Amino acid sequence: MGVGFAVSLTQHFYGLRNGTAGFKSYCNLGGSINCDVVSLSTYSELIGGLPLSSFAAGWFIALFLITLVARNPFWRRDALRIVWGMTAFSVAWGLAYLVLMATVIKAYCLSCMAIDVISITAFVLATSLKPEGFTVHKPDIPKWKWLFGVIGTCLIVAVLGLRAFEAEKMSRATTEALINAVFENPPVAVSVSDDLPSFGPKDAPITIVEFSDFQCPFCRLAAMTLNTVASRYPDKVRVVFRNFPLYSACNSASAADIHPFACEAAHAVVCANQQNKFHELYEVMFEKQADLKTGRTAEWAAMVGVDATKFKDCMAMPATQLAVAQDTEDGAALGIRSTPTFFVNGYKVEGAYPYDIWVAVIERLLKNEARR
């Protein structure tokens, strides 16, 4: 079970950074019980950006193998000592990380705590087998070297094997070029009025204006990555949403009619925002993008708690169409040619950038704000 939880956490760790983890983790139950916040903290990494959970997976595999070795009478004494030491270390590490979550990260990861329970159970079982102390029999050094080799091999194999969950990274030169491209032109003024759909604190030092299309696959990927970014900077990032559906029926600036259901989705999010349900519907529509079709937005709106009658009336109002038209006109005036396009404190970002680049851009802007 320990291996299973560790592998799941590793997959989630890489998924958050790849933009494929989705909007809601299975163990996000609120502000304080939030696996995303823990996984996005620097304390979830051990060496070189590698997830701590991948080392935990190797550790549990090694623990299992050495426990099997302890069944052999010839190896029992030394293997059992190592099993006890490994479980004691796991408990100590788990308790230290629990304190870290409580005092520094200020969020708890249910999967991490499940691993702690497994570690404590394993420690109790190892202790019940009464491993001998070194004062009774000195360790057999060749055996210990072999057993430590097993531990090292398991750690290396697990860490490298679980990197299969990681998306291929850009070269450093490409990454730096993309970051520099964001800042090569001066920032522009973009409307961020309070009545626009948004999430995150209104007084955040970083404002990201997102021009997007709910039927655009790259917009979906970018939205999920942006969700990860917002989770990492909950007090420092505000996201303002603007519609830019690639369909001429509601966007005169669209050069091609490639997303026939995007107009309805754009109108739906405007109506959901009137009932303070923008963010909920925004997430559902991107999550279920493949199922988007005529009439589906009403089902999803009802699913997130939007009043059906008010929603239907709103969808028929000219003001709703005008709101989407205003978004597209503003987008065209800003030179938007494709979706997704973002403006981060006025700096233009075109396309679905990887998580690492978003972090680098935001960190640079935060440093600039700190100097003022």
Q: Which helix (H) or strand (E) holds 335?
A: none
Q: What CATH number should be reported for the domain whose range is 2-165?
A: 1.20.1440.130
Tokens of 282: 């925004």
Q: What's the confidence (pLDDT) of residue 368?
A: 78
| Banded pLDDT at 30 (limits 50, 70, 90) | low
Find the mean pLDDT for residues 59-85: 91
Q: What's the confidence (pLDDT) of residue 25?
A: 67
Angle at 213 between CA 212 and CA 214, to 5 degrees: 120
What is the rounded distance in angstroms from the CA atom of residue 355 to the CA atom of residue 174?
Answer: 14
Other CB atoms within 10 A of residue 55 CB: 20
Q: What is the pLDDT of residues 175-202, one digit of tens each?
A: 888 888 889 889 999 988 888 999 999 9
Listed in order, the ranges of the chain carrying CATH 3.40.30.10 are 172-371
Listed in order, the ranges of the chain carrying CATH 1.20.1440.130 are 2-165
Ranges of beta strands (E only) in the chain are: 198-199, 206-212, 237-243, 341-344, 347-350
For 123-185, the three-class secondary structure string (H helix, E strand, C coil) is: HHHHHHCCCCCCCCCCCCHHHHHHHHHHHHHHHHHHHHHHHHHCCCCCCHHHHHHHHHHHHCC
Mean model confidence pLDDT for the chain: 88
- Reported residue count of the chain is 372
Judge if pTM exceeds 0.75.
yes
Q: What is the pLDDT of residues 234-257, one digit of tens each?
A: 889 999 999 999 999 999 888 778
Q: Which helix (H) or strand (E) holds 62?
A: helix 52-69
Domain 172-371 has CATH 3.40.50.300: no
User: Nearest Cα to 4, choosing from 43, 52, 53?
Assistant: 53
Q: What is the pLDDT of residues 302-323, one digit of tens each?
A: 999 999 999 999 999 999 999 9
